[in-house]
Amino acid sequence: MFCTFAGMLKDIRQVDVTEITSFVKAQGEKPFRGRQIMEWLWKNGVTDFDRMSNLPARLRESLKEHFTLSGLLIKTEQISKDKTRKFGFRCPDGLIVEGVQIPSQGRVTACLSSQVGCPLNCSFCATASLKSRRNLSAGEIFDQVILLQDASQEAYGTHLSNHVFMGMGEPLLNYDSVTGAISHMTSEKGLGISPRRITLSTAGLTKGITRLAREKVKFNLAISLHTANDLKRSSLMPVNKSNPLPELAESLKLFYQETGTRISYEYLLMKDFNDSLRDARELAAFCKITPCKINLIEYNEVEGSIHHKTTPEKMQAFVDFLESLNMIVNIRRSRGQDIDAACGQLACKSG
């Protein structure tokens, strides 16, 4: 029941509390031991059965015999001149995934990955240069939170303030693991993080957005938009061909209708591609489908890309036009660019 055959034990972090409780009862233990195990896994974030110190030694040995438990390890760490920190996490199978810690004005944001590599092949993103290997498990996503939390406490003496799924991979292609990890992050029996402190960023997979809407999720949604012109967007982001802007708009209207949560739009300003006033007008027309905010992002140069950063003058004109229409606009400056940790730069380079 609890394992398949020799050498293929089940990952305990893919087991729910009901199955864990059944297991401990089968070992002759009281049902409350199941709750203790889940607390060790999802509240304390342990990745070693021997650290479950309030369990009987006999039960810990039984857990080792029937389940696996392993986590991410920090392989590399780089610190930017602006104090941004990039971590290379080694998965149990040896693959590397990156996460970023961004301190600013008394807050620390964790940028989390959902996949090893990414299959979307967006032309502005360095992660597209990597081979798409696999989805991360809910446990591996959760590990990033724990490791970045510990690093934040050590470096700044404070908890992480915000968590954004803006690292490697497309979260909605790993829907169950990402939402499962978020469930443990926000649960009172887990880390107790407010869902309003969590943002999932997607390239615009309409079926996934619709599912989020139907499930009435409480966390924030950001759309990696970058242009509101269908032809341009398809050339920039191939995923747009199967998720065109009219369909994306319908899924976003449903998301707002079901959750009441304002949409955020991420928009990289690229010279002579999407930085004209016509582009701003198209963006404004699209974004007015629901209450929203627009995050204009400095483009970070990526090796092999045809795109370049816009000028400060064009960026300001873009902002002024949107604000003249009473739209909420934020400018996000590049952080960690010198260590390839900025938006679109994650490609497992260790410097």
Which sequence positions are flagged as catalytic?
98, 343
Can you tell me the distance from the alpha carbon of 262 to that of 220, in angstroms, rounded to the nearest whole number? 8
Count of other CB atoms within 10 angstroms of residue 321: 18
Q: Provide the total of helices (H) and of strands (E) in the chain, helices listed first.
A: 10, 14
Cβ within 8 Å of residue 327, ≥6 positions away: 284, 287, 292, 293, 294
**Sign of the alpha-carbon dihedral angle for 136, 109, 185, 215:** negative
In this structure, are residues 136 and 313 in contact, taking their beta carbons and an 8 Å threshold? no
| Alpha-carbon distances of 209 from 20, 37, 91, 222, 304, rounded to whole Å | 32, 33, 28, 10, 31
Q: Give 183-205 as a DSSP string.
A: HHHHSTTTT---GGGEEEEES--
